[in-house]
Structure 1
Amino acid sequence: MDNLPSPAPRCGLSSPVTRRAVLGGVASAGAVAGLSACADPSTVAASSTPVSPAPGGEGTVAATTAELPVGSSKSVKIGKRTYLLFRPAETTVLAYRAVCTHAGCEVSVGEGEFVCHCHGSHFTRESGEVTAGPARGPLEKFPAEISGEDVLVYL
């Protein structure tokens, strides 16, 4: 065996490419790809936070002003989806999709905030931002307004 010639260098490399080197490179590339999938979601959420579109088209009546007094919140069903409403002032209403940004569970109205009972995330009524995790991103916001006695949400 000592009389066997050594493998010739390939691709302009000064030393031969061994099977061990190739397998090590493949394993390293897989590890980098795997770790990049585990990136901190808060950095992703911060750069992809949805911006509320301006009201346009026809709004959907979600409630009446009598059902949503100033300072109150309400969960409403529109079609097959659930939305959360908050009326901070006489002429202002905010609307959010009632889906937790952590694992997609339904979020409900809590005492002065919105709560996901699956894993304990809490969200502000004023902005939909997370106040307690594991959720890292805000609730999806929708344009809404008060028109006469109706609370309209633009989907």
Structure 2
Amino acid sequence: MGGTNMENEKTTETGAVSRRLALGGAGVGVAGVTLTACGSNNSDAGKSAEGGLTEVKKPSAPTDVAAAADVPVGSALKATSGNLSVMVTQPSEGKFKAFSSVCTHQGCQLNVQNKDLACPCHASQFSIEDGSVKGGPAPEPLPEYAVEVKDGRIIVS
């Protein structure tokens, strides 16, 4: 087998990538992932809904997200329709509101906890009345969406 050391470094006799080159490439890949994780806190940079960062989705058209009867008075319901996920609240009988389900701190998906909207990542708490921050590191209130009740259904736009 002829050639330079560089050629031998890149491939073995069978044409496969050498172990040293593969490990070096893996190290570069890990470094890239690490640097990406330390990158900007842009809400467009998304991860999974299992507690990682997610993108704030705005409805492109009025979207049916839940039955009004499914939203408890004095509490909230996390509702998903297609790629839209919102926190629908009913602070008082017949008064419905909808907020983003994405925490304004670092973009984690919110849950309903003790009649509040809660972030499982860093313990931010939001009001079901107006989406304002009640506690934790969240810097801003939740974005609010327009809500209409039509034929017993919650329509968010």
Cα distance in 2 for residues equivalent to 1:121 and 1:58: 29
Quick check: which has more Rg, 1 or 2? 1
Task: Say whether residues 1:147 and 2:150 are aligned partners.
Answer: yes
Cα distance in 2 for residues equivalent to 1:69 and 1:135: 25
Cα distance in 2 for residues equivalent to 1:86 and 1:132: 18
Which of 130, 133, 149 matches 2:133? 130
Task: Say whether residues 1:100 and 2:106 are aligned partners.
Answer: no
Cα distance in 2 for residues equivalent to 1:69 and 1:103: 27
Contact 2:75–2:128, Cα closer than 8 Å, also in 1 = no
Cα distance in 2 for residues equivalent to 1:121 and 1:74: 17
Q: 5+ unaligned residues in a row in structure 1: which ranges? A: 1-56
Change (3 A) 1:151 1:104: same
Change (3 A) 1:90 1:147: farther
Return the offset for 1:91: 3.2
Matched with 1:119 is 122
SS in 2 for 1:66: helix
After TM superposition, the structure 1 = structure 2 runs for residues 1-155 of structure 1, keeping only pairs within 5 Å, are 59-154=62-157
Return the offset for 1:58: 5.5
Change (3 A) 1:122 1:59: same
Q: Which has the higher contact order (CA 8 A, sep 6+)?
A: 1
Return the offset for 1:151: 1.0
Letter in 2 for 1:67: D
Letter in 1 for 2:88: L
SS in 1 for 2:96: strand
TM-score, normalized by length of structure 1? 0.58
Cα distance in 1 for residues equivalent to 2:72 and 2:126: 20
CA RMSD in angstroms, aligned pairs only:
1.7
Cα distance in 2 for residues equivalent to 1:72 and 1:128: 12
Matched with 1:24 is none
Q: Percent identity?
A: 34
Return the offset for 1:148: 2.4
Q: Deviations over 1:17-50 (max 9, x none)?
A: xxxxxxxxxxxxxxxxxxxxxxxxxxxxxxxxxx
Cα distance in 2 for residues equivalent to 1:148 and 1:70: 18
